[in-house]
Homo-oligomer: A and B are copies of this chain.
Amino acid sequence: MSTQTTDRQALDQLCVNTIRTLSMDAVQKANSGHPGTPMALAPVAYVLYTRIMRHHPGNPGWPDRDRFVLSAGHASMLLYSMLYLCGYGLTLDDLKSFRQLGSPTAGHPEYGHAAGIETTTGPLGQGISTAGGMALAERMLAARFNRGHTVVDHHTYVIASDGDMQEGIQSEAASLAGHLGLGRLIAFYDDNHISIEGDTALAFSEDVGARYEAYGWHVRNLGEDIELDRLEQAVAEAKEVEDRPSLIVVRTHIAQGAPNKQDTAGAHGAPLGEEEIRLTKEAYGWPPDEHFLVPDEVLSHFGECRERGEGWEREWRERMDGLAADDPDAHAEYTRISQRRLPDGWERDVPRFHVDTGMVATRKSSGEVIQWAAGAVPELVGGSADLAGSTLTLIDGAESVQRGAYGGRNLHFGIREHGMGAFVNGLTLHYLRAYGATFLIFSDYMKAAIRLAALMRIPSIFVFTHDSIGLGEDGPTHQPVEQLAALRATPNCNLVRPAGANEVALAWQFAIASTETPTCFALSRQGVPTWNPAGVPRDAIRRGAYVLRESYKEGDPDLILMGSGSEVHIANAAADRLEADGIATRLVSVPCMDTFAEQDAAYRDSVLPPGCRARLAIEAASPLSWYRWVGDAGDVIGMETFGASGPQKALYEHFGFTPDNVVARARKVVSG
């Protein structure tokens, strides 16, 4: 072995141990966190960031960078150590304030808190699944824009833990990634045999590698042979397999090098303790009493990442210049999309539906509006969890995305709602505007992914149809009741339940215009009338609620009826009768309670004048969300129980969603 090789090996080891000791020290200082996994995975991260990944710490937003997703988000100090050492902007002080309020180094990596965090991880299974969406986006953009110049050409790398591998969302996403042949997706599975309750064998004895092979992945099991060159070679082999995603299984040792805590559950979720840290540092040949020590040669070595990154970006810019010269439209379009700018004037010509359109299910008008949106916004792509014909979410004239053919815009997620949610988030993180569709009831299956979109402040779009007992015969297993309340209670998540085609059109406009908030649609299976577009203000969704029908007399009405979606027209029919009886009735449509709650008091009071306490809300869902708006003197017609199996009309009769019942309850409210 030459001196040079020995020197390099020594430097490598010093770098790896720097990652380890930074992680140990930060967790200890926070007195909270997960030290063992960063210690175990330091060699993998080191190889990825210094030998494999084409990234540019000087420009973390470089569009063609390789993506790295730490699906094992609890090992966040591994990522923070890498981002600090590579020069992404995190400072040593940031590491020292790990897990402190206001620090970018949160307990789990949070998208947007520090450059280089590609997605929020921590809820297990989400990271590797979201990465699937990123890897798909890369192929879809490549199919569109690699026109003679390879301007989209990168990989998505993942480190996943035992926990990730046990979660159902991961199974769904891995099956889909295998189906789609996402060869640019390369995941490490950290098989460390330790989970919180002890040895993983307590609950987990499947053959993960064989399972991934069944999904159609390329699988390589390195066992304990995770020496740096070996890791590098395994990734090189994985990159050769272009038509299948790759899983590289590594058998690591949690808290590697800690004399008393290696391979113990005690090193998983708690600091090692000062004494064990001393002993571990001694075992590494590290000054035992130094904390947050970063040797100069380590910093200098990592500094090369920046230089290499500059070179890669320069080469990419040359390819972009080539594209600009040969196909200026493609160049402009990819530039626009990668800067997350919508096309100029995209929002013009949002469809308006004439009142003569008559009774149309909002899922159906949504299906029409999607055609407009797809025309106006080329980066809009989407699909459903095997419910295209029911959710009406196919883009006309666009191809289906399939293995090896990524130029289309229609996605087929299979019956994998949670995986779909993560894929939609991954596509959205990776420049596309994506939607995923299913029945509203199955928002329960994918709630954790919706929540992550809200937490990450990304504008994922979720189209939920069959949004109430109005779906009829499929019965209570398929009839949402509490889902609207659950989504409304979720911070930074806009739930839109349009009352008719014109609100639907504005809702799509609103969802696409959104930059920091996901939008969930709740759309009816059954027909609803088309309201006169003149009565639906352009800011109906942004304002959240508006007066759809004014009462016959001036000043405060005697009664306010309010509701959303497919119940608004029932309230309207009741209003006809109530007004005929001399009860001045205002009808308020509330397509988005979330945005309405954000309006100033003046606007809210203009819609719901404080002088009118007689208020009745109607919505075929849990009444929970409405109490705030109807107030002490008001009432809510909602669902206090589960639904039932039967034809829609029979159910609406049975559960009281009829003009008769609205009139009767309204009279009670008015008479106080």
User: Taking beta carbons and an 8 Å cutoff, which residues of A are in contact with B?
Assistant: 30, 32-33, 73, 99-103, 106-108, 110, 120-124, 162-163, 166-172, 175-176, 178-179, 195-197, 200, 202-211, 213-216, 384, 386-390, 400, 402-403, 412-419, 441-442, 444-445, 447-448, 451-452, 454-455, 472-478, 481-482, 485-486, 488-492, 622, 624-625, 627-628, 631-632, 639-642, 644-647, 650-651, 654
* Structural contact, B475 and A110, CB atoms closer than 8 A: yes
Q: Could you tell me the distance in whole angstroms from the C-beta of A337 to the nearest C-beta in chain B?
A: 26
The CB with the most chain B CB atoms within 10 A, among A120, A204, A386, is that of A386
Contacts of A390 in B (CB 8 A): 196
Which one, B171, B447, B492, contacts A171 given CB within 8 A? B171
| Complex: A102 Cα to B655 Cα, angstroms | 13
Which one, B33, B196, B210, B481, contacts A213 given CB within 8 A? B210
* Structural contact, B473 and A455, CB atoms closer than 8 A: no
* Structural contact, A123 and B640, CB atoms closer than 8 A: no
| Complex: A88 Cα to B656 Cα, angstroms | 34
The CB with the most chain B CB atoms within 10 A, among A73, A208, A390, A476, is that of A476
Contacts of A388 in B (CB 8 A): 196-197
| Complex: A121 Cα to B624 Cα, angstroms | 27
| Complex: A565 Cα to B60 Cα, angstroms | 43
* Structural contact, B490 and A477, CB atoms closer than 8 A: no
* Structural contact, B475 and A107, CB atoms closer than 8 A: yes
* Structural contact, B210 and A206, CB atoms closer than 8 A: no
| Complex: A448 Cα to B631 Cα, angstroms | 31
Q: Could you tell me the distance in whole angstroms from the C-beta of A124 to the nearest C-beta in chain B?
A: 6
Contacts of A210 in B (CB 8 A): 210, 213-214
Knowing A204-B179, A214-B211, say if A489 contacts B478 (CB, 8 Å). no
| Complex: A390 Cα to B195 Cα, angstroms | 12
The CB with the most chain B CB atoms within 10 A, among A208, A210, A388, A455, is that of A455
| Complex: A206 Cα to B179 Cα, angstroms | 7
* Structural contact, A412 and B481, CB atoms closer than 8 A: no
Knowing A110-B476, A210-B214, say if A624 contacts B485 (CB, 8 Å). yes
Knowing A168-B418, A412-B197, say if A451 contacts B444 (CB, 8 Å). yes
* Structural contact, A412 and B122, CB atoms closer than 8 A: no
Nearest 9 A/B pairs, CB to CB: A168-B168, A101-B646, A203-B414, A171-B171, A482-B489, A106-B645, A486-B486, A122-B477, A627-B628
| Between-chain CB contacts (< 8 Å), 29 pairs | A73-B477, A100-B645, A100-B650, A101-B647, A101-B654, A106-B644, A106-B645, A108-B645, A120-B477, A121-B477, A123-B441, A123-B478, A179-B203, A179-B205, A196-B390, A197-B386, A197-B389, A202-B402, A202-B412, A206-B214, A208-B214, A214-B214, A447-B447, A482-B490, A485-B486, A491-B639, A491-B641, A492-B642, A627-B628
Name the residue on B nearest A482 (C-beta): B489
* Structural contact, A178 and B206, CB atoms closer than 8 A: yes
* Structural contact, B122 and A474, CB atoms closer than 8 A: yes
Contacts of A207 in B (CB 8 A): 214, 216
* Structural contact, A650 and B101, CB atoms closer than 8 A: yes
Knowing A206-B178, A646-B100, say if A486 contacts B477 (CB, 8 Å). no
Name the residue on B nearest A163 (C-beta): B415
Q: Could you tell me the distance in whole angstroms from the C-beta of A312 to the nearest C-beta in chain B?
A: 31
* Structural contact, B627 and A473, CB atoms closer than 8 A: no
| Complex: A295 Cα to B340 Cα, angstroms | 67
Knowing A101-B646, A178-B206, A474-B107, say if A386 contacts B654 (CB, 8 Å). no
Which one, B200, B412, B473, contacts A99 given CB within 8 A? B473
Name the residue on B nearest A628 (C-beta): B627
Knowing A123-B478, A624-B625, say if A419 contacts B168 (CB, 8 Å). yes
Name the residue on B nearest A471 (C-beta): B107
| Complex: A203 Cα to B207 Cα, angstroms | 24
Q: Could you tell me the distance in whole angstroms from the C-beta of A352 to the nearest C-beta in chain B?
A: 31
* Structural contact, A163 and B386, CB atoms closer than 8 A: yes
Which one, B30, B166, B167, B645, contacts A473 given CB within 8 A? B30
Q: Could you tell me the distance in whole angstroms from the C-beta of A269 to the nearest C-beta in chain B?
A: 8
Q: Can you name 20 extra interface pairs (CB under 8 A) apart from A123-B441, A123-B477, A491-B642?
A: A32-B472, A101-B654, A107-B478, A121-B477, A122-B475, A122-B477, A163-B386, A168-B445, A196-B390, A197-B388, A203-B414, A205-B216, A207-B216, A208-B214, A442-B448, A444-B451, A447-B447, A447-B486, A489-B622, A627-B628
Q: Could you tell me the distance in whole angstroms from the C-beta of A649 to the nearest C-beta in chain B?
A: 10
